[in-house]
Structure 1
Amino acid sequence: MKKNIAIMLFFISIITYSQSDFRKGFIINNDGEKLSGFLNYKENSSVFDYCEFKTSLEATSKKYTPQLIKAYGFENDKYFISKEITTGSITETKFLEVIVSGIATLYKAEKFYYLQKDDVFKELENREIEYTSNSKNYRRASRKYVGILKVLLKDCELVKNKIDRTNYKERDLSKLIIEYNKCKGQKSIVYKEDKEWFKAEYGGSFGYSNSTMNYEHKSTKQLFFTTNSNPSTAISFGGHIELSSPRISENLSFFTGVFFSSNSFINSNQSASGNNNYLNEVTTQLKQTKIPFGIRYRMPFKFISPYFTIGGASATNISSQTHWVSETLTNSTVIIESKKFDISNISFGIYTSIGFEKEITKKLKGFIELVYENFSLNNSHTYTSSSAQLITEEYNSTVTHLQIQIGIRF
């Protein structure tokens, strides 16, 4: 299990480290001159510290800090300006993303928002504060931004009445500032206006699964003991949905779906001692309806987009059992001892995947991916003893699925 995860994480780290995504854009130097070219599109905190710009795709890129240029931006997309901000006693120059521009302008730097109106530039504070209640210490968001907005936007009564219901999120703050600018007779400039706030993609896939079952049976009877099964191969299939907000992030999405697989695991051994011959067999029938869920990160390469998913999964185990059988042949006498263990209806585990996606048409994509799943199972056998007592035997096992999936999404 650890080996499989390590291999997947190795490929993920290589892909993530090597990616770059240069798109059409521009920089504005300190003399106010606009230079067109290509900017490396990123979705991490470094966008507020520097940009990577080159005049052509073949040219070598150069880093520009907020001290070297006034602004940079992408065509019909994000726009950043150099601005001095103060946090506590620290003053520094950063690139701030311009979310909405107008009479009132909304900026963003990492997880913090700023507002400028006329000559006033203020952080919309919402940092955590500590407070005490019933002799216990707690932490909560300060919501100081509510008071700041009420002061700066007080000349529009319609907007002012909505401030208390405005959450500290880009969508909520953007909507409020756009309404304020409209109230004051000016249309706002929204640089990411062409990007959706919400997007859903659907898909289906089928694949080939190689699975193993590890038993952790603690019975003192060695005839019922085995550590693992022989591998089981099967066809798996299902459908999925990806939910994302391109306005916030092009590369991150929430992934979930429903998948079905059916496996048979068999392990047997023969032995002999004196006049006795033994045949021991363990058979597990496992039918699973699986619901994976996790965060998917997609790398926007030009022709093929790699992606990886990290999360968990739940599984409904349908009519699943493990059957332990021991046959002892002594001379002409056969003694058969058997137990049936029911597998718990619900189990939980981990889910990871790494894949490659290719655009087929504008609305249709094809993909191939490697999926790793690991579930913990509880197995129980209940019987009535000779003294009429109800006795339950239990043990745990784990099942690991390694799958190659091929599918489409739209």
Structure 2
Amino acid sequence: MKRSLLLLLSGIPVFCFAQSNFQKGYVVTNNKDTIAGYIDFVEQTKNPVSITFKTALESQTQTFNTANCSAFSINEMEAYQRFDVEVSMSKMDLANLSVGPDKTIEKRDVFLKVLQAGKNITLFSYTDKIKKRFYLLEKDSATPYELVSGIYLKAANDNMMMEDIEFRRQLSLVMNKFEVGTETDRNKLAFLGYDEPSLIKIAARINEQKVAKSKYNSTRFFVGIGMNANKGYYKGTHNFASPDAHNKSSYTPYLSVGIDAFANPAIRKLIYRLELSLSTSRNEVSTITEGKYGESATHQFNQVTVSMIPQMIYNIYNRDHLKVFLGGGVGLNLSGYTTNKEIDKSFFRQETSVEENKTELEKLNFSLPLTAGIVLHKKIEILAGYTFSSAISNYQTFSVNIQRYKIGVNYLFGK
């Protein structure tokens, strides 16, 4: 199983560079000509600076950018318009905050993503390596303006952070201009967040529309079942860590439930997963002590574990009928031990002694799981996993460790 995972890892570059995702769409040229065709829909955190386009799937590719394209849309998933706008340059990371408001701006020709369009305004977003910004285009106006937000230090020798909430005043003026909204709506502006859902909602209110429900679900649930191959072993200075020690593997079932959140619900390549699982393991480590009388020692411990595992999953091949994925995360494990005993046998004296809890095992421990697998028709996920060796003890000279492989099947709910 470990060899299969390594083979899949070695194939990642091939998948990543060879795969494209052409979806129906159109581009609008500088001459206002609309060309229907297919656009390579790439999942990215920043606004695109160019797109790859085909008039037909078998055609040669063309590149459109801000120099030759005024707008484009991808299969009703995303739409962009080109504008020459002022872009604020103030930093948002705490290590680089300015003292006082940073009013530095740049003029840029960029593609703005359309978030909400209506009779009065259009709301856009623009994200670069610095931060995410939102823009508003009023009807009968040619150029959008930025909704201003930011944070800064009050003074050079003061760690107090201040928030620039100019965007709330801007939206209040727009509501007054178009005579929309109630007094309650205006009062809510005082608590409005500078985030996409909040601003889409207020933009729809200004346009006197309802917020359009996305046809792409942003989350899904899953349940799973599978089999673990577990092996407990010692490392360090201990008889059970000697080269002659024998580590017995066990095969036990596990159950899991969880939720997936899609970075981009329309593409679903990058997924944030939170998984809860219940598993057991039966572990045995034994060794022969070469001495005057000849003795053997065995440590048996049976483990029941509830794990919470936040993960990131990436579909390195991404089609509706078949997806190939790789994932990794961190497991926070709460373990109980139904058995934890050491058995010493003397062959010469024919004596056996048993000592309970001689080695203290940790209830709270951590692990680093790696998974890979396929998804069939958006419903059936078949996976294999490897959990790197992790310690379940807290001693200076040795450690008790668990290594785990798994295979399993998840059922994915939703579309």
Q: TM-score higher than 0.5 here?
A: yes
1:93 maps to which residue?
109
The answer to whether the Cα contact below 8 Å between 1:348 and 1:375 also exists between their aligned partners in 2 is no
AA partner of residue 409 (structure 2): I
Q: Number of aligned pairs?
A: 381
* Cα gap change, 1:93 to 1:369, in 2 (>3 Å): same
Task: Map Cα deviations across residues 338-385 of structure 1 (whole Å, 9 max, x no partner).
Answer: 4533433332223332221111xxxx61111122334745448xxxxx
Structure 1 Cα separation of the partners of residues 402 and 240 of structure 2: 19
Q: How does 1:60-209 map to 2 (within 5 A)?
A: 60-87=60-87, 88-102=104-118, 103-110=120-127, 111-117=132-138, 118-119=140-141, 121-132=144-155, 135-139=157-161, 141-155=163-177, 156=179, 158=182, 159-182=185-208, 193-196=213-216, 199-209=218-228
Task: Map Cα deviations across residues 20-52 of structure 1 (whole Å, 9 max, x no partner).
Answer: 211110001111111100011122146420111
Match of 2:381 among 367, 376, 393: 367
* Cα gap change, 1:304 to 1:139, in 2 (>3 Å): farther
Match of 2:312 among 272, 279, 295: 295
With the length of structure 2 as denominator, give the TM-score of the two structures.
0.79
Structure 2 Cα separation of the partners of residues 67 and 167 of structure 1: 34
1:149 aligns to what SS in structure 2? helix
Structure 1 Cα separation of the partners of residues 161 and 233 of structure 2: 45
Q: CA RMSD in A?
A: 3.4
2:197 aligns to what SS in structure 1? helix
Structure 1 residues without counterparts, runs of 5 or longer: 381-391
The answer to whether the Cα contact below 8 Å between 2:261 and 2:272 also exists between their aligned partners in 1 is yes
Structure 2 Cα separation of the partners of residues 281 and 16 of structure 1: 48
The answer to whether the Cα contact below 8 Å between 2:272 and 2:312 also exists between their aligned partners in 1 is yes
AA partner of residue 306 (structure 2): T
Structure 1 Cα separation of the partners of residues 372 and 174 of structure 2: 48
2:24 maps to which residue?
24
Pairwise CA distance, 1:280 = 2.3
1:281 maps to which residue?
298
The answer to whether the Cα contact below 8 Å between 1:224 and 1:324 also exists between their aligned partners in 2 is no
Structure 2 Cα separation of the partners of residues 73 and 6 of structure 1: 39
The answer to whether the Cα contact below 8 Å between 1:320 and 1:343 also exists between their aligned partners in 2 is no
* Cα gap change, 1:396 to 1:126, in 2 (>3 Å): farther
Identity rate, percent: 15
Structure 1 Cα separation of the partners of residues 354 and 303 of structure 2: 22
Structure 1 stretch displaced more, 288-297 or 70-79: 288-297
Structure 1 stretch displaced more, 146-155 or 55-64: 146-155
2:405 maps to which residue?
402
Task: Map Cα deviations across residues 199-224 of structure 1 (whole Å, 9 max, x no partner).
Answer: 44232222232223242465xxx545
Pairwise CA distance, 1:78 = 1.0
1:154 aligns to what SS in structure 2? helix
Structure 2 Cα separation of the partners of residues 4 and 211 of structure 1: 18
With the length of structure 1 as denominator, give the TM-score of the two structures.
0.80
The answer to whether the Cα contact below 8 Å between 1:294 and 1:309 also exists between their aligned partners in 2 is yes
1:388 maps to which residue?
none
Q: Compare the two structures and name the one with the higher strand fraction.
A: 1
